[in-house]
């Protein structure tokens, strides 16, 4: 006769359970920053690709027309060279959202619209003047069409496009209404090197708002992406000196970029 004994299974004690939960919490805490960092790296890469597409479209436009598009209708002029010809020719482009014109790190509504205007995260190089008072030293001016041969400061040291950031702690909401790609004024489509990259308004005044609206910036950590006349795209740090930023915002200012900021 055999006696069979069934061993009683032992469960987790409360202390063991708490230890397991604590270990999981630590692992999650270590994993989340890595996931966020990878997500931001992906967004930054997608943004660089968007700028590369804008750069390519501008070069195709220039090859066809022997000069660049005017700043006042910049993105609309480039639309047929970005595989957007059908809706552009439809005569109803105002509220059409173009994915290539939106950076995934920009704090825009979903869909990125203000009233009937489709918004963009990018702007053309409008020179060194502030919003509402742009100069004619950038690649894009209101009506004139710049040729690549007009860029005397060197195509690798001259901005073609840069990012626009719609987030500002002291100006949330209102700032997000600006930067539409079709319609509006020249200063709503273009940006400038008047102030530093990712400049934030210290106090919410009308004068500061005008400076802020024309500033380059992004939702990326530490700087913003730019496209240059030579076809290159690169990330510039927020610590880039204003002297350098203004130098690369002009096409024939005889500016010399010194150091390794580019």
Q: Give the whole-angstrom CA distance, residue 222 versus residue 235.
A: 9
Q: Is residue 175 in some structural domain?
A: yes
Cβ partners under 8 Å of residue 114, min gap 6: 176, 177, 178, 180
Task: Note the pTM of the prediction, 2 decimals.
Answer: 0.82
Examine residue 10 and state whether it is found in any structural domain, yes or no: no
For position 245, what pLDDT does the model report?
96
Number of folded domains in the chain? 1
Sheet holding 190-191, edge to edge: 190-191, 122-125, 159-163, 223-228, 233-237
**13-61: per-residue pLDDT in tens?**
777 677 778 777 777 777 666 556 656 678 889 999 999 999 999 999 9
Q: For residue 225, give its domain range.
A: 48-247
Task: Count other C-beta atoms under 10 Å from residue 175's C-beta.
Answer: 19
pLDDT in tens, 63-100: 999 999 988 888 888 988 988 777 666 666 667 788 89
- For residue 162, being part of any structural domain is answered with yes
Closest CA to 148 of 30, 229, 83: 229
Does any domain span residue 153? Answer: yes
Residue 184 lies in a domain: yes
For residue 167, pLDDT over 70 is answered with yes
| Unique residue bearing structure tokens 């073609």 | 160
Q: Which of 34-48, 109-123, 194-208 has the lowest mean pLDDT?
A: 34-48
Tally of residues, the chain: 262
Please check the confidence at residue 175 and state whether its pLDDT lies above 50: yes
For residue 105, what pLDDT is reported?
A: 92
**Is 30 among the domain residues?**
no
pLDDT digits (tens, 9 = 90+) for 129-155: 887 777 889 999 877 789 999 999 899
């Amino acid at each position: 006769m055999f006696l069979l004994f069934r061993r009683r299974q032992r469960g987790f004690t409360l202390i063991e359970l708490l230890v397991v939960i604590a270990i999981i919490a630590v692992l999650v805490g270590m994993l989340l920053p890595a996931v966020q960092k990878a997500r931001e790296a992906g967004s930054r890469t997608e943004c660089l690709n968007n700028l590369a597409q804008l750069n390519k479209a501008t070069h195709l436009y220039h090859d066809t027309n022997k000069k660049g598009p005017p700043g006042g209708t910049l993105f609309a002029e480039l639309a047929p060279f970005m595989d957007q010809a059908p809706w552009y020719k439809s005569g109803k482009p105002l509220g059409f959202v173009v994915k290539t014109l939106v950076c995934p790190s920009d704090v825009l509504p979903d869909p990125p619209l203000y009233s009937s205007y489709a918004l963009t995260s990018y702007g053309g190089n409008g020179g060194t003047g502030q919003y509402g008072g742009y100069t004619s030293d950038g690649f894009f001016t209101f009506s004139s069409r710049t040729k690549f041969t007009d860029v005397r400061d060197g195509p690798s040291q001259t901005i073609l496009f840069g990012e626009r950031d719609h987030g500002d702690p002291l100006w949330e909401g209102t700032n997000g209404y600006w930067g539409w790609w079709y319609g509006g004024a020249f200063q709503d489509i273009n940006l400038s090197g008047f102030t530093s990259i990712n400049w934030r308004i210290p106090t919410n005044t009308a004068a500061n708002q005008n400076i802020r609206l024309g500033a380059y910036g992004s939702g990326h950590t530490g700087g913003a992406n730019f496209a240059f006349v030579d076809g290159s795209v690169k990330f510039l740090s927020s610590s880039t000196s204003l002297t350098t930023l203004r130098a690369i915002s002009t096409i024939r200012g005889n500016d010399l970029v010194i150091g390794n900021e580019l």
